[in-house]
Amino acid sequence: MFEAHNVTDAELAHRPVKVALILALGAMITLGNVAVVAVIASSVSGWSRNSRYFLLSLTGADSAFGLVVMPLNLCVSLVKDVSAGPDPLCHAVAFFNSTVYSTCMYTLASISLERYVAVFYPLQYTALLTRRRTLLMIAFAWLFPPVLLLPISLPEGIIRVHFSAASLVCNPAYSSNVAYSLTLTGFLFFPCSIVMTYCNLRLWVAAKRQRLKLRQHSLNGRSRPDVASRVLVPVMTVYYTCWTPCMVTMLYNAISGNHVPEWVEFVAVWLPTSNGFLNCICYFWINRSFRKKFRAIIHRLCLGLCPQIGKVLGCTDAAGVHEVRGVLENNNTLQERSSSVSSTCTLLTLAPQGTFIR
């Protein structure tokens, strides 16, 4: 994204602070996604098999931020002389960076599309999203970006890569090829953004109409909680907040050939990785079934690994054990056609089954 430039004393002085921020963010991403995998690897009430496939794919892409992107770039920042020119190692790291970023965006778009089909075409859900089609969509999200981004990995190719002391990242110098930068943006950010915006906007409008209709026919006059705004608005807000600065900065540098200020570059480059942690909140922790299953797993671990500590914490009462068993033994009781990701399940609870307004 950014051309190499002379390292300033300020950039060297700020490096320990940046490394600490990256390590903290990496720890949050890893711990958050480990908890997510522990829950969705088993059955969660209201989540279909296809939903778990998509969500596991998203968790894998998010985990790659903390397990691949951050360690690789931090290692390069320690061993590479920032005054040196591009080398094969930096090209390889830049290729992994761009691939993980792109896979995450495609996976987010796939989840939005699956949620859209589950809500607006519930009767055709299993026919439209078969297991084979679901796996093909996931495979496309993981395999298409490496093919598209292959030129970045070639040291003698058309894309030059430099290590940026401002962001501590190996970045493709897209300003050397404006056409490629625009093509990359057109195949990644804009298509995924269009799909996500359209699907989530349609879901939000439909949920608003349904909520208004239920309010008009409510006998007790009580208004239902605005679940649509509480779920869909944060999803889109987090997405655009994390990804837009990076894409805008990339286009600005490619077109103008200038460099943005040091901390602007650092924030713009690393904001997309924070999406790996915020996705845990937007897609998982706001869902009641997920939180209940997570508490049940922690409860069982508490009883199995640390029974004495569990006794002190009150984890051994009969009622609690009975509830934990009920949650852990619960297999998907909802039909697959009415299952989707967390926000869809929440939206469907706004109305009795079969009354959702299209």
pLDDT for the residue numbered 352: 36
pLDDT for the residue numbered 338: 38
pLDDT tens string 249-276: 888 877 777 778 888 889 998 999 998 8
pLDDT tens string 34-68: 888 888 777 666 677 888 889 899 999 999 999 99
This prediction has a pTM of 0.79
Residues 294, 42 contacting (CB under 8 angstroms): no
Q: What is the mean pLDDT of residues 91-97?
A: 89
- Rg, C-alpha atoms of the chain: 23
Domains with residue ranges and CATH for the chain: 9-193+243-286 (1.20.1070.10), 288-331 (no CATH)
Residues 118, 340 contacting (CB under 8 angstroms): yes
Q: How many residues does the chain have?
A: 358
Q: How far apart are CA 128 and CA 203, in angstroms?
A: 18
pLDDT tens string 135-152: 999 999 999 999 988 888
- CA 178-179-182 angle, 5° bins: 85
CA 234 to chain centre: 13
pLDDT for the residue numbered 161: 80
Enclosing H/E stretch for 322: helix 318-328
The residue among 238, 143, 247 whose CA lies nearest residue 186 is 247
Q: What is the mean pLDDT of residues 293-300?
A: 80
Between these two residues, 235 and 2, which has the higher pLDDT value?
235
Q: How far apart are CA 63 and CA 294, in angstroms?
A: 18
Q: How far apart are CA 174 and CA 180, in angstroms?
A: 7
Give backbone dihedrals phi and psi of 99, rounded to 5 degrees, phi first. Answer: -65, -45
Q: What is the mean pLDDT of residues 93-97?
A: 90
Using the structure block, give the residue that is written with the tokens 């049940």: 296
**230 C-beta neighbours (distance < 10 Å), count:** 12
Residues 188, 223 contacting (CB under 8 angstroms): no
Enclosing H/E stretch for 162: strand 161-164
Both tokens of residue 216? 């008009």
Helix (H, G, I), strand (E, B) or coil at 163: strand
